[in-house]
Amino acid sequence: MSNVLIVAEQHQGALRKATLHAVAAGRELAQRTGGKLHVALLGAGVKGLAAGLTRHGAEVHVADAAVLEKPVAEAHAPVVVAIAKATRATFVGAAATAYGKDLLPRAAALLDAGMATEVLSFGGDGAQVTFRRPMWAGNVLAEVEIASAVKVFTVRPTEFAASAPDAAGSVVDEPVSVDAGGLQTRHVSFEEVKSARPELTEARVIVSGGRGTKGDFKPIEALADLLGAAVGATRAAVDAGWVPNDMQVGQTGKVVAPELYIAAGISGAIQHLAGMKGSKIIVAVNKDEEAPVFQIADYGLVGDLFKVLPELGQKLAPK
């Protein structure tokens, strides 16, 4: 009997969409191992989110305390560990978001557990579950085993379709004994970059810009708005300060897998391709016909994005 604990993520009182993808992974894992699905929900004033999570067939453990209001790993990790022990979880997982990637390894260390980051799929069942994950910027797919008694993992949200609320569960209130005064971490500030556009990892369509925009993302944004798309960027664009870091698509930025990815003014560096080569259809627009991006694009147009994108926009919404 190998129980599964998924750590949910909420932000300012709303559940992160990525959590439902992690819950889906947790449900699959629980099926493979014959164990029970548990979900941990940490925060302050978050009890209202528990009921929704029970509908995914989980026992939801709510750790609600002021000391957990901010996503500080030093405070959250011992709580995750306590819930993992209380639920006798063999598997502890979360979505591979900034929160999951920051928190789960710390919890894993405290659990004496090995961990697989950014799992794409599971193999095997029972005690023999294996984890498939990318290595070398996604150039290699590795199947790994975790030899410790407890196995920790994060999943790439785009690889697991979001769980549907089609079951029933229960809620357990968990006591929180983290001493706020003893913490060595102080949350100073969070500067949010709000956007009305869809999240990159959830979007059906992404329009992305690189060095070729020379800092002018207006054609990218205009086309994205016509398509109801998310806006992405390369590392170069973010490094230059043209767009916020949250928009970076790449090996160490966001890995996306939309139906349609339009890469404008993007040459196609290995690290960028690692972040978007899972897209169903890739369109590349670049002035340079030798740009490596054309090697993986389904449709490549050699041209000036400042002309091409507005023209394409015209086709979508003729004025």
Partner 1 sequence: MALKVLVTAKRVEDPESKIKVRPDGGGIVTDGVNYKMNPFDEIAVEEALRLKEKHGGEVVVASIGGDRSVTEIRAALAMGADRGVLVKHDGPLDPVVVSALLAKVCEAEKPDLVILGKQSIDDDQNQAGQYLAARLGRPQATFASKKESLESEAEAKKEPGLRLGADGKTIQVVREIDGGIETLELRLPAVVTTDLRLNKPRFASLPGIMKAKKKPVQEIAATSLGVDLTPKVVLKKLAEPPARKGGVRVADVEELWKKLHDEAKAL
Residues 43-82 that bind partner 1 (CB under 8 A): 72-74, 77
Residue where the block lists tokens 């710390």: 106
Answer for which of 192, 196, 290, 318 binds partner 1 (CB under 8 A) is 192
∠ CA 137-142-146, nearest 5°, is: 120
Residue where the block lists tokens 């994108």: 309
Answer for which of 40, 63, 282, 291 binds partner 1 (CB under 8 A) is 282
In this structure, are strands 121-123 and 130-135 parallel, antiparallel, or unpaired? antiparallel
Answer for which of 1, 127, 315, 317 binds partner 1 (CB under 8 A) is 315
Give the nearer residue to partner 1 in terms of CB position, either 171 or 296: 296
How many C-beta neighbours within 10 Å does residue 243 have?
Answer: 21
CB of 176 to partner 1, least distance (A): 18
d(C-alpha 68, C-alpha 45), whole Å: 10
Q: Are 26 and 40 in contact (CB under 8 A)?
A: no
Distance, first Cα to last Cα, the chain: 62
In this structure, are strands 59-64 and 299-302 parallel, antiparallel, or unpaired? unpaired
Answer for which of 173, 179, 288, 311 binds partner 1 (CB under 8 A) is 311
CB of 18 to partner 1, least distance (A): 8
Cα 142 to chain centroid distance, Å, stands at 19
Answer for which of 66, 142, 164, 180 binds partner 1 (CB under 8 A) is 142
CB of 186 to partner 1, least distance (A): 4
Note whether 34 binds partner 1 by CB under 8 A.
Answer: no
CB of 112 to partner 1, least distance (A): 8
How many C-beta neighbours within 10 Å does residue 142 have?
Answer: 13
d(C-alpha 201, C-alpha 278), whole Å: 12
Answer for which of 15, 44, 144, 162 binds partner 1 (CB under 8 A) is 144
- The interface mask with partner 1, positions 98-127, x = CB under 8 A, is xx-xxxxxxxxxx--xxxxxx---------
Give the nearer residue to partner 1 in terms of CB position, either 49 or 273: 273
Note whether 292 binds partner 1 by CB under 8 A.
Answer: no
Measured torsion, CA atoms of residues 163, 165, 169, 173, in degrees rounded to the nearest 10 = 80
Answer for which of 140, 175, 196, 319 binds partner 1 (CB under 8 A) is 140
Note whether 177 binds partner 1 by CB under 8 A.
Answer: no
Note whether 196 binds partner 1 by CB under 8 A.
Answer: no
Note whether 290 binds partner 1 by CB under 8 A.
Answer: no
d(C-alpha 121, C-alpha 24), whole Å: 11
